[in-house]
Amino acid sequence: MKLSYASRRRLVRWRQLLRGATGSNKGNWAWLKTKPLPVVTLNRDLWRWAEPSVNYYMLMFLSGVIATLGLLANSSATIIGAMIVAPLMGPIIGMAFAVAMGNRRLLKRATFSMVTGVLLNVATATLITSIVGLDALTTEVQVRMQPTLIDLGVALAAGAAGAYAKARKHISDALPGVAIAVALVPPLSVIGIGIATWSKAVAVGSTLLFLTNLASVIFCGALVFLAQKYGSLDRAQKGLAVSVLVLALLGLPLGFSFRDLVVRERTRTHLNLLVRQQTSGLSDVGIESLSVRRRRDRGLLVNLEISAPSNSISAQDIDVLHEFLEAELNVPVDLNVSVIPIDRFRALTRQRQ
């Protein structure tokens, strides 16, 4: 059967659309079959990334300035900007690749760049905090003092994403997002803030967070490089063993911190529920602050601040709170409650005669 000219045109048109949809024409689906970079190319790129150059230290200094000021100002947007500026992800990904390949030269170069960059960032944060003179710990500082297993999971995923993105030319644009996810620079600035304010808890907690991020990125990044057929398991055996040992040691305090986080949130939930039930007729009652700490006898020490109208909270209400917490948490609880009285005043504009 002979087709008309118009029918043949429509057939050609449909065939072109089909080729375009399946990627056989211009490669719309080519990203599904992208191959990793050659070993020589990736090694050269990471060698350049790990270079301890003037540009590297300048960006580390500036990122430290931005992160420290953002932490002191409690500005999350400013802190995110510091994460993007910081080039610290390059040497760390280089360390992961060096572990997978057994490349000692690259490992020494990347480690030197990483360590010196870290020291520069901490020194910058210490100097700026001393000059500014702010001693109050903002929320952005406090959240980096108590890392948990959740931070470990984020760092592992970020390490895998960074190694995968670096090994593929067309998706390397994802690396700034990886830097934001793993957040390497803010903990360093918090260490400097802790040193400047002579706060051991701040310095130790943020150091734990940074070491968690560092070990996780190196370990998971090395595994991803091995999965993409870079290096061999025999060469990476020692480096992976060290990473696993470090992660195991860090996992203990992270696990304890995660357990305390769960207990604290459960306590907050129960307190919110009971406070609302006991003061259902009052609209101004609220929990201002809550701290939960474990005692040596496995009990809990709960410090609670409640804002409420004057004389609306009695000692009997506190006893009910105490009994409810012990029943729900199934542990002995020492409850300290501070009631902040609320007095309301109202001034109305008099109508003119």
pLDDT tens, position by position, 266-310: 777 777 776 666 555 555 667 777 777 777 767 778 888 877 777
What's the mean pLDDT when you consider all of the chain? 81
For the chain, what are the domain ranges? 33-231, 275-342
What six digits make up the tokens of 316?
């009997």
What residues have CB less than 8 Å from 220, skipping those under 6 apart?
96, 155, 156, 157, 159, 160, 163
Rounded Cα distance, 165 and 217, in Å: 13
- The CATH label, of 3.40.1160.10, 3.30.465.10, 3.40.720.10, 3.30.300.20, for the domain at 275-342 is 3.30.300.20
Contact present, 29 and 22 (Cβ < 8 Å): yes
Residues 213-246 have pLDDT tens digits of: 899 999 999 999 998 888 788 888 888 899 889 8
Per-residue pLDDT, 8: 66
Contact present, 212 and 152 (Cβ < 8 Å): yes
- pTM over 0.85? The answer is no
| Residues of the chain with confidence (pLDDT) below 70 | 1-8, 12, 16-34, 171-182, 274-285, 297, 343-345, 348-353
Rounded Cα distance, 279 and 307, in Å: 12
DSSP summary character for residue 349: P
Residue type, 43: N
Q: What is the phi/psi pair of residue 96, to 5°?
A: -65, -45
Per-residue pLDDT, 24: 46
E strand or H helix at 147: none
**Which CATH number describes the domain made up of 33-231?**
1.20.1080
